[in-house]
Amino acid sequence: MTIIVVLGILVLLWVVLYLVPDLFWHHLQWGSVQGARDSHQIALTFDDGPGEDTGAILDVLAAHHAKATFFIVVEAAERHPDLIRRMVDEGHTLGLHGIRHRSMYIYAPWASIYTIWHGARLLEHLSGKPPQFYRPPWGHVNLFTWWAWKGAGLIPVFWTIAPNDWNPRKDVETISRTIVQCAVPGTIVVLHDGGGDRQRTVQALDHALPRLRQLNLDPVALETLAQDRSELRRMWTWWEVRFSKGWDIDTVPSSLGGDPVLRLGRIRFRGPRLVLTDGTTLSPGDPMAEIHFGNPALAQLSKNATGGLRAFHAVLRGLTDVADVVATNPKYHDVLAVGGITLLDASSAIEKLGFMRVKIHGWQKWSMWIYLAILMSIYHSQGWRTLKRFLKLQPVLLIMPKTHLDKHYLRRPKVVDEKEGGPRPARGC
């Protein structure tokens, strides 16, 4: 009986000292850095270095005029003081990762405190300035870790996007695609510049940075990242990143510059059998491209009473880019239609763009209404006060045949008219 009691006490202590703190600070990320969703910034961070490939990563960042934050393992830094000086000289931010790369799950209380306090002093000695940020190895946290970083004046940092570039099964395109697909304003990407061969990370970073620029995202160091204080948006961002990756949602870059307005995913049609405006029959299970509003764009469009009209024009501008993605991305080669469910006030005016309006009923109607109402309440400039107005709105499905999208919105190449010497539409327009 005594052994059972002792074991019970030990389990309870482990839960209180390790499991609960890890849940709150690692997984829920309470009190940690989170970028603002209405900014144009994204934070690139690198763990476990410096290592043999850190110099190449710095070369790529310099070539693309990007800044990053490096979470330093002090033992590795002592072997590469030249790389620490280069990081500082090139305007990157240094954060503490630990004296050694060890999980906080195996640290006793005094060891947790020592590795953070002494590690911060050692890193300051190497870099010439005290670190502001701290990220524990693997994100593992215990109660004493929290007490130690508070005492050392460090700000905890975790991540929003983890491409798992350390995994040898992840190729360059997979790493790069994960970064770009999940990237939204304010997100924090965790990559690795030490702990092994990171050539795939170097190449993936070189591929991803131009694509992030296409999405109007500026890679910055953490100390210049605009902060979002809303815990609700923080939790929604956590869900949104996983939704984008799990459902393979693509952000559609704006060819006119500025923030992307629309996102796109391939789904199977779930509504009733429809005859579209071009005569195409759309049956349950047929492939279609589902259009989503980007949430940061939604927040911007809702800032005044003309939000519905502004949304109408935003969709009008974005449909050309949607048509290009549908025409060039093999994922959408067989879709019969594009569309999505909306609550926006512009839903009736948007029919003029070529959409047909379809009422939705039953559980799908109410589940979508709740989902969209919560979404609008989080991102609308008036917050939860918008719910009263949304009670009057009904979710509707907007569907456009792919043939209409191609005919009216797909960019056509120009060829030179030999007689006139000027451009004319290519054959087939």
pLDDT digits (tens, 9 = 90+) for 252-261: 888 877 778 8
Q: Which residue has the higher pLDDT, 396 or 51?
A: 51
Question: 3-class SS at 98?
Answer: strand
Q: Which of 38, 47, 259, 321 is catalytic?
A: 47
Which two structure tokens, joined as six digits, stand for 158? 């975790």
pLDDT range class, residue 411, cuts 50, 70, 90? confident
Highest mean predicted confidence (pLDDT) among 10-14, 51-55, 371-375 = 51-55
pLDDT range class, residue 240, cuts 50, 70, 90? confident
The pLDDT of 291-319, averaged and rounded, is 63
Q: Where are the alpha helices (H) located in 247-303, listed in sequence order?
A: 295-301
pTM, full prediction: 0.80
CB contact set of 236 (below 8 Å; sequence gap of 6+): 295, 375, 378
pLDDT of res. 428: 32
Ramachandran region, residue 68 (left: φ > 0; alpha: ψ -120 to 50; beta: rest): beta
The pLDDT of 278-292, averaged and rounded, is 93
Distances (CA, A) of 294 to 26, 254, 374: 27, 12, 15
Our CA dihedral for 208, 213, 214, 215, rounded to 10 degrees, sits at 90
pLDDT at 286 over 60: yes
pLDDT of res. 311: 59
pLDDT of res. 339: 92
Quick check: is 192 catalytic?
yes
CA pair distance 112, 152, nearest whole angstrom: 12
Highest mean predicted confidence (pLDDT) among 12-26, 203-217, 341-355 = 203-217
Ramachandran region, residue 164 (left: φ > 0; alpha: ψ -120 to 50; beta: rest): left
- Domains recognised in the chain with CATH numbers: 12-233 (3.20.20.370), 247-409 (no CATH)
Q: Which of 92, 97, 192, 380 is catalytic?
A: 192
pLDDT, tens only, 220-229: 999 999 988 7
Whether residue 342 contacts residue 395, with contact meaning beta carbons closer than 8 Å, is answered with yes
Compute and round to an integer the Cα radius of gyration of the chain.
25
Name which of 46-50, 125-129, 252-256, 386-390 the model is least confident about: 386-390
Highest mean predicted confidence (pLDDT) among 127-136, 307-316, 415-424 = 127-136
Quick check: is 140 catalytic?
no
Q: Where are the alpha helices (H) located in 278-350, listed in sequence order?
A: 295-301, 307-328
pLDDT at 384 over 80: no
- What is the overall mean pLDDT for the chain? 84
CA pair distance 194, 374, nearest whole angstrom: 41
pLDDT of res. 429: 31
Question: 3-class SS at 196?
Answer: coil
pLDDT of res. 424: 36
CA pair distance 236, 253, nearest whole angstrom: 22
pLDDT of res. 427: 32
Phi and psi, residue 8, nearest 5°: -60, -40
pLDDT, tens only, 168-187: 999 999 999 999 988 988 89
The single residue listed with the structure tokens 């405006």 is 277
Name which of 58-67, 261-270, 351-360, 379-388 the model is least confident about: 379-388
Ramachandran region, residue 186 (left: φ > 0; alpha: ψ -120 to 50; beta: rest): left
pLDDT at 416 over 80: no
